[in-house]
Structure 1
Amino acid sequence: MILRFSLPFRTAWGQRLMVCGSEPSLGHWNPDQALPLRYHPDSGRWMHEISVPDDQPGTIAYKYVLVDERDNSRQQEWGPNRTVAYDGRQFSQLVLEDFWRAPAEPENELFTAAFTRALFRRPAKTNTPASTARIADSVVRFQLEAPRVELGQQLCVLGSDAALGAWDGRKALVLTDSAYPTWTAEVALEQPELAVRYKYGIWDPQEKKLVQLEAGDDRVLEPFTERRTLRLRADDKFRYLSTWRGAGVALPVFALRSNRGLGVGEFPDLKLLVDWAVSTGMKLVQILPINDTVATHTWVDSYPYAAISVFALHPQYLHLDAVAPLQDAAAQQEMETLRQQLNSLDFVDYEPVMQAKWKYIKQLYQQEKAAFLADPEFQAYYQEQRAWLKPYAAFSGLRDRFNTADFQQWPEEYRTPALVDQLTQENAPDFDDFGVHFFTQFHLDKQLREAVEYARQHGVVLKGDLPIGIYRHSVDAWTQPELYHMHQQAGAPPDDFSTTGQNWRFPTYNWERMAEDGYAWWKQRMGQLARYFDALRIDHILGFFRIWEIPEHSVEGLLGHFSPALPLSQQEIQQRLGWFDYSRLCEPHIRWHTLQRIFHGQAQAVFDEFMEDAGAHGAIRLREHVRTQRQVEAVFQEKTTADPTNADHYKWLRTGLYQLINDVLFVPDDLQPGHYHPRITLNKSNSFAELDEESRWRLYDGIYVDFFYHRHEGFWREQGLVKLPPVRYATDMLICGEDLGMVPESVPGVMKALGILGLNIQRMPSNPNTEFGHPNDAPYLSVVSPGSHDMSTLRGWWEEDRQITQRFFETILGHHGEQAPYYCEAPVVREIVTQHLHSPAMWAIFPLQDLLAMSPELRRTNPQDEQINVPANPQHFWKYRMHLPLEELNYNFVFNNELKVIVEGSGR
């Protein structure tokens, strides 16, 4: 049997096409042995034939590859491998009439799980039309990949041949979705010797008629008269009349409020939020990370980005009643009383909530233990998840046994995971210390997957959140420390959130080690997230290009540097600056007038306790025990413990000493001696201000600007193109990147090439020359939003700075010459929301607080109580909770319908 490959493609000089696949003649997936195609100028097609056995059916998989001999590069076409079944007993020839699947096309994202599993899922397959292949000499199989077809509709082909309806919309050839999102139909043309003009359309099976024909020119099928031939016409994309756009709502799971909760949002509450999304026209629910963060059993664990496991779910989200009723009537009554007490609070009181959860989880475990361990569903879950589940259970049990998650403080025999198998055996004497975590994770997984399936059935996408870092005292660091630089800290350079940068205290990644096994850890992590989510937000996606790496002796972020980077050698600095003096450039520049400015009347006392004369020109240096911020932190922690009544004063002194330590112009590179990074925002430092004018100009314009905005662009682009693809293509989730802050110029291009949606926040425009972004300027492959969990809400922001508010009111909302209202009233919020909904961006996603702000009756009284996180405060308590139950919100038909009208009116 002959298989003929046929692909129309216009190449540039030096380019050629090959096909690589599963057959020996296609190279067995070895690109170096792929089959070269030959160009036929008369048809504009690249073609070649191979032979396959004709005595039995078979299947081949293949993909086209564009080879550019100018740079020896190879580019595979976009999408999964093509597969085709053949049967030589039926046909003597199979002609594969394909089209190149171009990467970086907006329509490609319609093939992600967000669309195929949720928005356009097709739970019931339609009947496959009977094929005419057995009774015809020549058959055409029309094939089109098209996920964007509403449930209850089908695709069809309408064309000039009588077998395609002869342009009569009532007689179109209907395609089957049995291989959705691929649609197919086989037909014997009435006049195959003639060219056929045709188009795809949307078919209503109830009305049995064509309801929409695709845009663009007619497609053309060339004449073909060869006998016993199957022509597989794999056409290129349905040509929609408009792009698809949707709206969504964002809220952390812990912030959900329901009457059945226990002082915190729980996974079943997501179903209530999905109900509300459906009633308001929302197509997506976005949440924050939901991994277990229990490290200290205190409110500090409320921080959702410091997970002790990137795989385990947080026990706070378990709905106890859905596990089993407590058989102890007194305990059940006690839990009901606690439910009323905790649900009456207007915030998540983390510690009492978690104490209650653990108390009843342990009771339920003992009550259900025998049946649970014998449950086939649990056994299947255990076998599938044990690679991470066993180490996690062991870690959690040891954390509680030794009262710390810092495994370096555990007895020596437990500082590595060598005893995991022994500890987690069912017959081990202390098995219950670990088995309770098997029990908890199994039920958390079960409840979350039920909520996910509920969302998919209702056409709603559940969007998760991937933290960029891992927690230092986590299962991941315990089991695979070689994957991380434990001696470094990850964070973010100064931005609108924090003028001194952010120090997340997470270790940075050892990317070189991760690459050795093809980024297996990342692929496993993404696979676990895909178990629950059809879309994903990658937190701080810039970290895949370069991370802000902070030395372990720093508390704040100013003394960090980008990693990887191209630091400056001492010789290069000397050439460009004209001089090099280590003590002047790399050590804190402290003079007496600086102390007076920072510490005022206490300057002398501060000097006497913490400083000493450094010699010439009035130079002052810190004493040896306070030369790093970590040393200063330890000193004042001890002072505060001994004298808590003066805590505020000690905090003020500590901040002043931090400021002095930050006052340097270059940061030494920790890997390359004699190489240096300019300190971020050095132009705002006291040390910079006290340089002579020429040195300031040479340092800032000649070194700093080039270093941060030009020197690394190509270098960081290469980093992103190496690290991001394994993560991006590990699953079929729709991927969105949080690309705020100091964004290298190469980032948007790499994200677009990989089909990763960017984020556009109106108050943090990507263009540094504009004060506010306009949603109308957002590209299609992006998300627009008025804010994020790291910001104040619209109402809170509106009251922060009257001058900024006035400029926004006039320039962005168009109220020129009008006085902006003092408070962000409901009509103003409605304007902002509507403006975002009409953006060309694929998604407009709103914090729930901002949507409720459109209703004077539903909005919270004090907008300051609605902010989820304050990035400038590293000790922030994440305790925000909705002020009204979801049950009540779902019954507010008037507001819900008004919002739905606005959403649908925008075309979303």
Structure 2
Amino acid sequence: MNVQFHIDYQTYYGQDLVLNIITGQHNGAHEASQYRMRTADGCHWEVEVKKDAKPGTQVDYFYSIFRGDNEERREWGVMNHRLEFNAERSLNYRVYDHWSDLPEDAYLYTSALADCIVGKKLTKARLNNYNKAVTLKVRAPQLGAADELYLSGAEPALGAWNVKKALKMVQHSINEWSFTLDAAKLSGSQLEIKFFIKNRDNEAAPVWEYSNNRMLELPGMEEGDAIVYELDEAFFPVPAIRVAGTLVPVFSLRSESSFGIGDFGDLKKMVDWVSQTGQRALQILPINDTTITHTWTDSYPYSCISVFALHPQYADLTALPELKDRKQREKFEALRKELNALPQIDYERVNDAKTEYLRLLFAQEGEKVLGSSAFKEFFAETESWLVPYAQYCNMRDKFGTADFSRWADHKQWDESDRKALSNPKDAAYKEVAFFYYVQFVLSSQLKAVHEYAQAHRVILKGDIPIGVNRYGCDVWTEPRYFNLNGQAGAPPDDFSVNGQNWGFPTYNWDEMIKDGCQWWVNRFQNMAKYFDAYRIDHVLGFFRIWEIPISSVHGLLGQFAPALGMSREEIEGYGLHWQEELFTEPFITDWVLDRIFREHADEVRQKYVEHVWGDRYRMRPEYDTQRKVEKVFAGKNSETDVWIRDGLYALISDVLFVRDHKDPNRFHPRISVQFDFIYESLYDSDKAVFNKLYNDYFYRRNNQFWYQEAMKKLPKLVNATRMLVCAEDLGMVPDCVAWVMNELRILSLEIQSMPKDPHVRFGHLSENPYRSVSTISTHDMATLRQWWDEDWARAQDYFNSMLHRGGPAPHPLPGWLARDIVSRHLTSPSLLCILGIQDWMSIDEDLRLADPNAERINIPANPKHYWRYRMHVGIEDLMKNKAFNEQVTDLISQAGR
């Protein structure tokens, strides 16, 4: 049959429109047959394709703009056009499309809302035997689970505006509905139509689309013709979807069957509680493998060794076959009960025990599992990353270190090893097979949780860390993607006055962009197997990352990378006389030493610094970096030693400008230097000049540059899956972040105590954008109860100005007041309101922990924090707590979520 495609799109000289008919997928990307279209006026494009299509089949396709052989632009990648061949006979099709850009309501097409919240199933249109046919397609994403779309019109064949005779449409693609008319029954060439929603579960009046009647002029048709019209999206005056949910790390879950730590079985139970209380979202922290040292320092979930592999600690042992050895069963059951009774996680004992158990089970069941068709299918899907990961784990344990620079003959992944490691008959395969088995178990269990959550109409929301461990498998496998001479972190903020140094390598974005950010695309598509929404950790890192020299411990000597550094001439152009040594070397004088070290100042003069001239000093070479100082003071924990060590750190970072990491003739104003001695030493006039330069640099100079950097990366990632995209956009946020997030329809994170408007102390919940996630606290922050008591003056201000209550604020935070705060967050306009489990429990004084400080998950200022918070209440008991659950349900219902 012949298919003519028509589309109106205004192009410029040298541009061509190309039709891409999808034929398959490879590495997550569409494989397509391309057809150059023709035009007479640069606006109306068409192409004819000969297609051998059987009745009941369909094709998906999209349009793109080419200049020569280079693709300049393509349509929204998540939702493609769909053409169904629903005629019993061969017809000649004429398709009239329109260009599909990312819509304002893109969130309604995500798997989070379309598959989980709404959960509508697609239907194939029935075959027809019309000699002439007109198919109308329209996207209508606002329909609920029980809603059906109807077509009505002036024509008798369309019901003559009688709703009882209207035509019921078929949802043949995500949020897209179609109906095929018998053109022979149409009385004229003009159609006047309109769509309406009817709910099959009630007798409510139909809801008509919010527009004038649609007018269509049909072209001349002959026998054997089929016309397909893709119409503009239908909009209905219905309330926007708003969802409530809970945030809890998987490791924090507790149940009667846990092994001292939350697991994927517990996650399924948590879905039950979320669903029971009327919530529709469950958010977790990263669950990737972080095993570097096999000690508690691996508990940091944002320092993964693989962006694909899951952490073995989350295996639900109760879902696996029993150990046949009775003594072993009894030993592990006794240990399980002991570890499960602990108030906090004993990371090392839990992981040692689970690993031992899994190895025994692998010896018992491994051969059968690895020979199964399910495993072979899993291996075929994941082999690209699974094989290097298993070899990495094997080498890490064999050599006793994750520092692969110390692995003899294995300092980098060797692709030639893949064949032996993939052959079950090879000795190399047998060495790593245990790691294949564990990842298969974990993936199977998490997929089961995902399916369970979808069946209960609960959005499972994951978390994508911005960094990877510098000694991890990803760096070992593909070092070209990483810069190992820098450390990723964050500039100073409310969490840490010295900035945060995460120790991760920064990304070599130039190298990543060369292959279309395939590493990131693969990562996101792997996540989509398990989740329907995700949080991009530190989304600012896609604009610019805070890059700290490898010689630094703190983050103050970092600089944004990439960023437009300043030349000497530019700095002087502001009116600041350039003095390179004064501005770029640590500012050390007698009065500075006395102020920092007081009675220890002379000791510092004699041992750690050397005199230069006048009252000026410089660091001695053996102490001139923070890493050198850290090494000297390793293991010295007395109050005096810590005082001197931290003072030396402060001396080293006391500079006005940081030299650019790549271009020594460019400079960056040092972050937060206004609190340091070099700034204090400036004349007032120079301070004013520097402040103007500082504000221009951090808030204006790089805006357009960073916007362009983000748009090289984020569109590819947002369009890689149908997951709902949410971003953690906190910190030192330049204006361009909002530009990009609005353009890509990414949900922002809104925290009332950390408003994005610098002119207010607390955000106004009523002003939250709809495309946002509202929350009270994150895993990096104090919980609501901690926050309330750590600064009484701030709490008093909030009590009076935000809660509009008089008198003194009560302390500690009473349950009734916590309930009021939770209620106000739930009534905000935000699409998602997701609260930490601790903040939910704060409303019930009988349920919550007696000590609010025991609720804290992380302290960002402490890079060695032990992540071990665990719910003090088991999920089974939580499910039975009728009084608390009714409170949660009532709050959600009253908020209209």
TM-score bin (small chain): over 0.9
Equivalent position amino acid for 2:621 in 1? E
**Alignment partner for residue 864 of structure 1, among 853, 873, 876?**
853
Shift of 1:200: 2.1
**Residues 143 and 336 of structure 1: CA distance in aligned 2, closer, same or farther (over 3 Å):** same
- Which residue number corresponds to residue 145 of structure 1? 139
Distance across 2 between alignment mates of 1:47 and 1:346: 69
**Alignment partner for residue 35 of structure 1, among 30, 35, 38?**
38
- Which residue number corresponds to residue 576 of structure 1? 574
Confirm or deny that 1:213 pairs with 2:202.
no
**Residues 858 and 222 of structure 1: CA distance in aligned 2, closer, same or farther (over 3 Å):** farther
**Alignment partner for residue 713 of structure 1, among 703, 718, 731?**
703
Question: What do the CA deviations read for 1:57-102 (whole angstroms, capped 9, x no partner)?
Answer: 697665456899xxx9857467533242569995765343434434
Confirm or deny that 1:514 pairs with 2:512.
yes
- Which residue number corresponds to residue 444 of structure 1? 442
Question: What do the CA deviations read for 1:187-207 (whole angstroms, capped 9, x no partner)?
Answer: 236444164433323334567
Q: What secondary structure is seen at the aligned counterpart in 2 of 1:216?
A: coil
**Residues 311 and 14 of structure 1: CA distance in aligned 2, closer, same or farther (over 3 Å):** closer
- Between 570-579 and 471-480, report the one with greater CA deviation: 570-579
- Which residue number corresponds to residue 458 of structure 1? 456
Distance across 1 between alignment mates of 2:112 and 2:344: 32
Equivalent position amino acid for 2:797 in 1? R
**Residues 54 and 855 of structure 1: CA distance in aligned 2, closer, same or farther (over 3 Å):** closer
- Which residue number corresponds to residue 836 of structure 1? 825
Confirm or deny that 1:160 pairs with 2:154.
yes
- Between 527-536 and 403-412, report the one with greater CA deviation: 403-412
Confirm or deny that 1:370 pairs with 2:378.
no
- Which residue number corresponds to residue 602 of structure 2? 604
**Residues 893 and 578 of structure 1: CA distance in aligned 2, closer, same or farther (over 3 Å):** closer
Distance across 2 between alignment mates of 1:248 and 1:589: 50
- Which residue number corresponds to residue 27 of structure 2? none
- Count of residue pairs brought into register by the alignment: 881
Q: Decide whether the 8 Å contact of 2:772 with 2:830 is kept in 1.
A: yes
Q: Decide whether the 8 Å contact of 1:116 with 1:181 is kept in 2.
A: yes
Confirm or deny that 1:347 pairs with 2:344.
yes
Shift of 1:516: 1.8
Shift of 1:272: 1.1
Q: Decide whether the 8 Å contact of 2:18 with 2:65 is kept in 1.
A: no
Equivalent position amino acid for 2:80 in 1? N
Q: What secondary structure is seen at the aligned counterpart in 1 of 2:304?
A: coil
Q: What secondary structure is seen at the aligned counterpart in 2 of 1:759?
A: strand
Question: What do the CA deviations read for 1:277-329 (whole angstroms, capped 9, x no partner)?
Answer: 11122111111100000111111000001111111100110011212101111
**Alignment partner for residue 807 of structure 2, among 805, 811, 818?**
818
Confirm or deny that 1:317 pairs with 2:308.
no
Distance across 1 between alignment mates of 2:414 and 2:803: 58
**Residues 2 and 478 of structure 1: CA distance in aligned 2, closer, same or farther (over 3 Å):** closer
Question: Map of 1:572-721 to 2, 5 A cutoff?
Answer: 572-615=570-613, 617-637=614-634, 640=636, 646-701=637-692, 703-721=693-711
Which structure 2 segments of 5+ residues have no match?
A: 23-30
Distance across 2 between alignment mates of 1:659 and 1:377: 57
Confirm or deny that 1:782 pairs with 2:775.
no
Question: Map of 1:46-57 to 2, 5 A cutoff?
Answer: 47-53=44-50
Distance across 2 between alignment mates of 1:77 and 1:386: 30
Question: What do the CA deviations read for 1:241-265 (whole angstroms, capped 9, x no partner)?
Answer: 2222211211110011111110000
Equivalent position amino acid for 2:434 in 1? V
Which structure 1 segments of 5+ residues have no match?
A: 40-45, 641-645
Distance across 2 between alignment mates of 1:880 and 1:188: 64
**Alignment partner for residue 231 of structure 1, among 203, 212, 227?**
227
Shift of 1:159: 2.6
Q: Decide whether the 8 Å contact of 1:251 with 1:286 is kept in 2.
A: yes
Shift of 1:107: 1.3
- Which residue number corresponds to residue 724 of structure 2? 734
Shift of 1:163: 2.6
Distance across 1 between alignment mates of 2:618 and 2:284: 48
How high is the TM-score relative to the length of structure 1? 0.91
Q: Decide whether the 8 Å contact of 2:77 with 2:719 is kept in 1.
A: no
- Which residue number corresponds to residue 96 of structure 1? 95
Question: Map of 1:160-199 to 2, 5 A cutoff?
Answer: 160-188=154-182, 190-193=185-188, 195-199=190-194
Equivalent position amino acid for 2:503 in 1? R
Question: What do the CA deviations read for 1:583-626 (whole angstroms, capped 9, x no partner)?
Answer: 210111111221222122121122222122122x3001221111
Distance across 1 between alignment mates of 2:817 and 2:253: 26
- Between 581-590 and 29-38, report the one with greater CA deviation: 29-38
Q: Decide whether the 8 Å contact of 2:388 with 2:413 is kept in 1.
A: no
Question: What do the CA deviations read for 1:505-528 (whole angstroms, capped 9, x no partner)?
Answer: 100001111122221211111111
Shift of 1:483: 0.9
Q: What secondary structure is seen at the aligned counterpart in 1 of 2:535?
A: strand
**Residues 173 and 5 of structure 1: CA distance in aligned 2, closer, same or farther (over 3 Å):** same
Confirm or deny that 1:107 pairs with 2:95.
no
Question: Map of 1:406-485 to 2, 5 A cutoff?
Answer: 406-417=403-414, 420-421=417-418, 422=420, 426-427=424-425, 433-485=431-483
Equivalent position amino acid for 1:892 in 2? N
Distance across 2 between alignment mates of 1:633 and 1:582: 27
- Between 46-55 and 109-118, report the one with greater CA deviation: 46-55
Shift of 1:20: 2.4
Q: Decide whether the 8 Å contact of 1:538 with 1:738 is kept in 2.
A: yes
Q: What secondary structure is seen at the aligned counterpart in 2 of 1:710?
A: helix
Equivalent position amino acid for 1:354 in 2? N
Shift of 1:36: 3.2
Q: What secondary structure is seen at the aligned counterpart in 2 of 1:312?
A: coil
**Residues 16 and 843 of structure 1: CA distance in aligned 2, closer, same or farther (over 3 Å):** farther
- Which residue number corresponds to residue 80 of structure 2? 81
Distance across 1 between alignment mates of 2:85 and 2:356: 61
Distance across 2 between alignment mates of 1:412 and 1:808: 61
**Residues 283 and 36 of structure 1: CA distance in aligned 2, closer, same or farther (over 3 Å):** farther
Equivalent position amino acid for 1:201 in 2? F
Shift of 1:697: 1.9
Confirm or deny that 1:873 pairs with 2:862.
yes
Equivalent position amino acid for 1:473 in 2? Y
**Residues 531 and 693 of structure 1: CA distance in aligned 2, closer, same or farther (over 3 Å):** same
Q: What secondary structure is seen at the aligned counterpart in 1 of 2:790?
A: coil
How high is the TM-score relative to the length of structure 2? 0.92
**Residues 37 and 651 of structure 1: CA distance in aligned 2, closer, same or farther (over 3 Å):** farther
**Residues 395 and 5 of structure 1: CA distance in aligned 2, closer, same or farther (over 3 Å):** closer
- Which residue number corresponds to residue 489 of structure 2? 491
Q: Decide whether the 8 Å contact of 1:17 with 1:37 is kept in 2.
A: no
Distance across 1 between alignment mates of 2:4 and 2:387: 51
Confirm or deny that 1:749 pairs with 2:739.
yes
Question: What do the CA deviations read for 1:623-643 (whole angstroms, capped 9, x no partner)?
Answer: 111110000000000x52xxx
Shift of 1:849: 0.9
**Residues 547 and 48 of structure 1: CA distance in aligned 2, closer, same or farther (over 3 Å):** closer
- Which residue number corresponds to residue 904 of structure 1? 893
**Residues 88 and 351 of structure 1: CA distance in aligned 2, closer, same or farther (over 3 Å):** closer
Confirm or deny that 1:361 pairs with 2:358.
yes
Equivalent position amino acid for 2:747 in 1? L
Equivalent position amino acid for 2:522 in 1? Q
Question: What do the CA deviations read for 1:466-487 (whole angstroms, capped 9, x no partner)?
Answer: 1111110101111111110011
Distance across 2 between alignment mates of 1:33 and 1:375: 46
Q: Decide whether the 8 Å contact of 1:20 with 1:30 is kept in 2.
A: no
Equivalent position amino acid for 1:230 in 2? A
**Residues 279 and 722 of structure 1: CA distance in aligned 2, closer, same or farther (over 3 Å):** same
- Which residue number corresponds to residue 643 of structure 1? none
**Residues 246 and 76 of structure 1: CA distance in aligned 2, closer, same or farther (over 3 Å):** same
